[in-house]
Structure 1
Amino acid sequence: MTGNEETKAKIEKAALDEFMEKGFANASLRQIVKNAGLTTGAFYKYFSTKEDLFASLVEPYANKIYSIYDVTLQNFQTLSSSEQQNAMTRVSTDSITQMLNYIYEHYDNFKLLLCKADGTEFTSFIHNLVERETQSTLKFIEDMRKSGTEIPQLDKDFIHMVSSGMFSAMFEIVVHDMKKSVAIERVKKLKMFYTGGWEKLFGISF
């Protein structure tokens, strides 16, 4: 690791501690710089603002979760309607497993993202996932109808409500600091709950 990389890592470590204790809004940039053992001038060689510093600790990790979701969806949508129906449980399980593993590999970053981001653009993290899920569900319904499978009418706002409940509940694993083994079991039950609900609403089995 070069000297610049070491200094950047030192800043990020001091920032993680400060943000974790106080949250973004109440965190002191001056304290972060002091704890990193730097001058303010030295700090600005690496980050332009407190927002920029916070983003360095959460944005790559949020983007990875988006990527897991998007790649899973892209692969899923290459399947025929009957294949999608049969693969739904397996594909969603694989995607959630990837997300869980990644979250627990970078737990502190997700704690910041989900619990300490008030005052930043990153409070929209769950909402962004919900929007993706809402659109993909509408597309699934459309494809199933085109293939001849009757799906009852479900409006976008209702699908958004259900999706919001699912993702908000899933990320309770971080909000409440659940051990990974406990989180896996609870998310598994959560997934069973929502799968059963969608089957009932759609009138089909996955």
Structure 2
Amino acid sequence: MSYSSNLTRERILESAWQEFMEHGYQNANMRRIAQRAKATTGALYNHFANKAVLFDALVQEPAEEMLAQFQAIHRQAEEKVFVQPESSMEEQACAGTDWILDYIYKHMEAFRLILCRSEGTRWSTYLEQLIEVEEQAYRVYCDALGKNGKRVEDMFLHVTAATGFQYLVELVSHDLPYEQAVAVMDSVKRYSMAGWQEILRAKP
């Protein structure tokens, strides 16, 4: 690909991000994207076959990497929970939260699209995939760490996992500065850990 072609591609990607953020995926228009990029529609389609491919180009790499890393973090935590049960849930939960927040903020443009403007794309279910990973991990933690002999309900685990990710959606959708987001999530971690201790230790 020539230098000029690379520049055109970069202009298209930047223009597409602006278009998707302003109009959402479903209402975004390829002709407007070409106009924003000062490119012909032919040049646009030469680089990206359709709108879905263009959206993928903006989000796929960081999204797939984050999901894979998130799954790996939980696999490691699930192994550790049987070795160091008392400390593993809190330590791993806090470390995982810190990592995912940092990763999202390093790739904010992609995750703003996924979390706020992906309706109509295959990425509209991305958050549900993350929630499912978290929910399955919660089941392992609760079964290993519960001290009251009572099984934590599946729906509670689902709601709790979904709520945890909703915090991140709010930070992204409100475009909160990173330092402020860290402070908010530190409060969320303390709040959540206190709740988990009550759930796992309360009498049936």
Distance 2:12 2:197 in 1: 49
**How many residue pairs get matched?**
201
Return the offset for 1:188: 0.9
Paired residue secondary structure (1:59): helix
Residues 78-93 of structure 1 mapped to structure 2, 5 A cutoff: 78-93=79-94
- 1:171 aligns with one of 166, 169, 181: 169
Q: What is the aligned partner in structure 1 of residue 54 from structure 2?
A: 53
Query: Do structure 1's residue 182 and structure 2's residue 180 form an aligned pair?
Result: yes
Return the offset for 1:150: 4.6
Distance 1:116 1:73 in 2: 27
Q: 1:85 to 1:7 in 2, by over 3 A?
A: farther
Per-residue CA deviations over 1:36-56 (Å, capped at 9, x if unaligned) read 222222222221210111121
**Further displaced range: 124-133 or 82-91:** 82-91
Contact in 2 for aligned 1:11/1:32 (Cα 8 Å): yes
Return the offset for 1:151: 4.3
Distance 1:75 1:2 in 2: 44
RMSD, matched Cα: 2.1
Return the offset for 1:131: 0.7
Q: 1:185 to 1:80 in 2, by over 3 A?
A: closer
Residues 25-174 of structure 1 mapped to structure 2, 5 A cutoff: 25-144=26-145, 149-174=147-172
Return the offset for 1:82: 4.7
Unpaired runs of 5+ residues, structure 2, are none
Distance 1:59 1:170 in 2: 19
Return the offset for 1:89: 2.0
- 2:190 aligns with one of 183, 189, 192: 192
Per-residue CA deviations over 1:3-59 (Å, capped at 9, x if unaligned) read 243332121011011111111111111111122222222222221210111121122
What percentage of residue pairs aligned between the two structures are identical? 26
Report the TM-score, using the length of structure 1 for normalisation. 0.87
Return the offset for 1:2: 4.5
Equivalent residue letter for 1:67: A
Q: 1:151 to 1:194 in 2, by over 3 A?
A: farther
Distance 1:22 1:166 in 2: 27
Per-residue CA deviations over 1:51-107 (Å, capped at 9, x if unaligned) read 111121122222232123112112212325251431222222222222222222222
**Further displaced range: 182-191 or 29-38:** 29-38
Per-residue CA deviations over 1:158-205 (Å, capped at 9, x if unaligned) read 21011111111232111111111111011111111111111111118x
Distance 1:200 1:2 in 2: 61
Contact in 1 for aligned 2:114/2:124 (Cα 8 Å): yes
Per-residue CA deviations over 1:115-144 (Å, capped at 9, x if unaligned) read 111222222222111111111111223344
Distance 2:21 2:145 in 1: 45
Report the TM-score, using the length of structure 2 for normalisation. 0.88
Paired residue secondary structure (2:109): helix
Distance 2:85 2:8 in 1: 49
